[in-house]
A = this chain, B = another copy of it.
Amino acid sequence: MTTESLKLYQSGGSPNSRRVRIFIAEKNLTIPTVAVDLGKGEQHAEAYRAINPRRVVPTLVLGDGTSIGEVPAIQRYLEDAFPQHPLFGTNAKEKALITMWERRVELEGFASVMEAIRNVLPGLQGRAIAGPHDYEQIPALVERSKQRVANFYSDLEARLSEVSFVAGDRYSVADITALVTVDFATKAIDMPLPEGHVATKRWYAEVSGRASAGA
C-alpha cells in the first residue's frame, strides 16, 4: 500500500480539511491533493457530487475509485492502512478513550463553532447546514452556539488542568480536533481562548508549535 494511489479532495480554508491535513502530517505521509473551490461552488458540481453526494470536503479517493467521506472515516482508514505514528491509540482501552474525547470535542466544540457561523453569514442564507439539502438560517441559534463554545472552553480548561493532552498523556487525534476548533473559533466567530485559561494556553502553545499545525 502506497500513498501515491490516493487522492485527497479538499479545500485550503476548510477546517474539516485541516483536520485531515494535520492527521496526514503527523503520520509523516504524503498524499496527493485536489483543490475543491468552495467559493466557486465546486462542491455542488456534478463531478464532485459523483465523488461525495453530501457535497462536503474532504473526501479521500482510493486507487480503486472508492470514495471515503467524513473526517473520522478518512482518519481511521489512514490509521489502519498506515499504522505508523498511531493517533487513535494502541490498545482497546486507549482507543476507546481517544474516540470518546475526540467525539466530545467535535460535538461540543467544533460543531458549535460551525453552527454559529453557518447561521449568521449572509453568504450562507438558505444554506444553514452543509450538504445536499437547503435549510434556512435560525438567528437564535447563533447566540446559543456561542454559549456552547464558551462552555466548551471552560470544560477544556478543567480537563487540561488535569492532563497534558485532551485524551490523556499523549498527543492524539483529539488534540487535532481541539486545535482546529480553537483556531476556527478565533477566526470565524471572534472567540479566541479566554485570558485566564492558562492550562489550555500551555496546551495550545505545545500543539500549535508542532510542524503539523501548519498543514
Contact = CB atoms under 8 A, between A and B. Distances in A.
A108 B93 contact: no
Given A80-B95, A95-B80, A99-B72, A147 B135 contact: yes
A128 B96 CA distance: 27
Range class of the A interface residue count: 35 or more
Contacts of A92: 77, 80-81
Copies of this chain, whole number: 2
- A contacts with B: majority SS: helix
Nearest to A77: B96
A81 B95 CA distance: 11
A76 interface: yes
A42 interface: no
A70 B96 CA distance: 9
Contacts of A148: 129, 133, 135
Contact of A138 (B68, B91, B140): B140
B68 A96 contact: yes
A132 to B, nearest CB: 8
A100 B62 CA distance: 14
A180 B150 CA distance: 32
Contacts of A155: 132
Interface in A22-69: 54, 62, 66, 68-69
Contacts of A72: 99, 103
Interface in A185-208: none
Nearest to A53: B155
Interface string A148-168: 100100010000000000000
A54 B151 CA distance: 12
A104 B135 contact: no
A136 B140 CA distance: 10
Given A70-B100, A72-B99, A74-B96, 13 more contacts: A66-B97, A68-B96, A68-B100, A70-B99, A73-B99, A73-B103, A77-B93, A80-B95, A129-B148, A133-B147, A136-B144, A138-B144, A140-B140
